[in-house]
C-alpha cells in the first residue's frame, strides 16, 4: 500500500473491497443514467440494497463527468457518490474520468466529508487502461488535497493486484515529483 501526505491530508492506495470501506463516502463508477449494473455498481447494489440504485436513478440522468450523492443503504460508508464517468454506451475517456473524479471530491466537500474511497473509474466495463486512469485520478486527488477544506483522506480501493500495482506506481511517481519540488510528501 502506497500513500502520499500533503500537509495533514493523505492519499492512499490499497487492494480491497470498496463496499467494506468505512470512509464517509464511497464512489460508484456510474453511467450518466445512474442505473447500477455489474462491477463496482453491482457490488454496491448487492451489499447496500436496491434502495441505493432507486435513489440514484431518481437523480439522473446527469452529464457525463458529473457526480451525485445518495445514501449508502446497508454499507459501512455514510454516502455513495455516483461518478458518471461514462454514458449509456458504457464508453469513457480521460476527460470524463478527470471530471468525474473532481466532481466527486467537490460533492464530498459540499457535505463536509472528511474521507472518501474511490475505485478505478472506467476500467471495468468502460475498458479504460488502468495505468492511465491512475495518472488521471491520482493527479486530481493530489491537486485537490492541496486546497481541501474538509477532506483528510482520499483512498483508492483497487480490485486485484495488477490494478493496485498500477496505482501504487503512479502514487510513487507523484510523491517523487512533489519531493523534487521541495514538498516533503512522505507518510
Could you report the per-residue pLDDT of 115-132, keeping only the tens digit for each?
A: 999 999 999 988 999 999
Phi, psi dihedral angles at 7 (to 5 degrees): 65, -125
Average pLDDT over residues 6-29: 96
Q: How far apart are CA 78 and CA 91, in angstroms?
A: 29
Report the pLDDT averaged over residues 143-171. 96
Instruction: Specify the pLDDT at position 183.
Output: 65
Residue 75: pLDDT band by 50, 70, 90 thresholds? Answer: very high
pLDDT band at 184 (very low <50, low <70, confident <90, very high): low
Question: What's phi and psi for 28, nearest 5 deg?
Answer: -100, 130
3-state secondary structure of 48: helix
Q: Is the pLDDT of residue 180 over 90?
A: no
In a 3-state reduction of DSSP, which class is residue 132?
A: helix
pLDDT over 90 percentage in the chain: 86
Q: Cα–Cα–Cα angle for 101, 5, 93, nearest 5°?
A: 20
pLDDT tier at 186, thresholds 50, 70, 90: low
pTM across the whole model: 0.95
Mark out the alpha helices in the chain (DSSP H runs).
39-48, 50-59, 94-110, 130-147, 161-180
pLDDT at 1: 80
CA 133 to chain CA centroid, nearest Å: 11
Q: Residue 166 — very low, low, confident or very high, per pLDDT cuts 50/70/90?
A: very high
Which CATH architecture does the domain made up of 3-180 adopt? 3-Layer(aba) Sandwich (3.40)
Mean of the pLDDT values across residues 45-72? 97
Using DSSP, how many helices (H) and how many strands (E) does the chain show?
Answer: 5, 7
pLDDT band at 182 (very low <50, low <70, confident <90, very high): confident
Residue 185 has pLDDT above 80, yes or no: no
The DSSP letter of residue 122 is T
Q: Which of 186, 157, 132, 179 is nearest to 75 (CA)?
A: 157
| Percent of the chain at pLDDT exceeding 70 | 98
Cα separation of 18 and 89, whole Å? 24
pLDDT, mean of residues 89-109: 97
Is the CB of residue 12 less than 8 Å from the CB of residue 158? Answer: no
Mean pLDDT of the chain: 94
Residue found by looking up cell 500533503 in the block: 6
Amino acid at each position: 500500500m502506497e500513500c502520499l501526505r500533503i500537509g495533514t491530508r493523505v492519499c492512499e492506495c490499497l487492494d480491497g473491497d470498496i463496499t467494506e470501506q468505512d470512509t464517509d463516502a464511497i464512489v460508484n463508477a456510474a453511467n450518466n443514467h445512474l442505473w447500477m449494473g455489474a462491477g463496482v455498481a453491482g457490488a454496491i447494489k448487492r451489499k447496500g440494497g436496491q434502495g441505493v440504485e432507486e435513489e440514484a436513478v431518481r437523480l439522473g440522468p446527469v452529464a457525463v463527468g458529473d457526480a451525485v450523492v445518495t445514501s449508502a443503504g446497508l454499507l459501512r460508508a455514510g454516502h455513495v457518490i455516483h461518478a458518471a464517468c461514462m454514458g449509456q454506451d458504457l464508453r469513457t475517456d480521460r476527460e470524463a474520468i478527470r471530471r468525474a473524479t473532481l466532481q466527486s471530491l467537490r460533492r464530498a466537500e459540499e457535505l463536509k466529508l472528511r474521507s472518501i474511497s474511490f475505485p478505478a473509474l472506467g476500467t471495468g466495463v468502460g475498458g479504460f487502461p488502468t495505468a492511465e486512469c491512475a495518472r488521471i485520478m491520482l493527479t486530481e486527488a493530489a491537486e485537490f488535497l492541496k486546497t481541501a477544506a474538509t477532506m483528510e483522506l482520499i483512498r483508492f480501493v483497487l480490485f486485484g493486484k495488477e490494478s493496485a500495482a498500477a496505482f501504487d506506481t503512479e502514487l510513487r511517481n507523484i510523491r517523487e515529483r512533489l519531493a523534487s519540488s521541495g514538498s516533503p510528501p512522505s507518510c
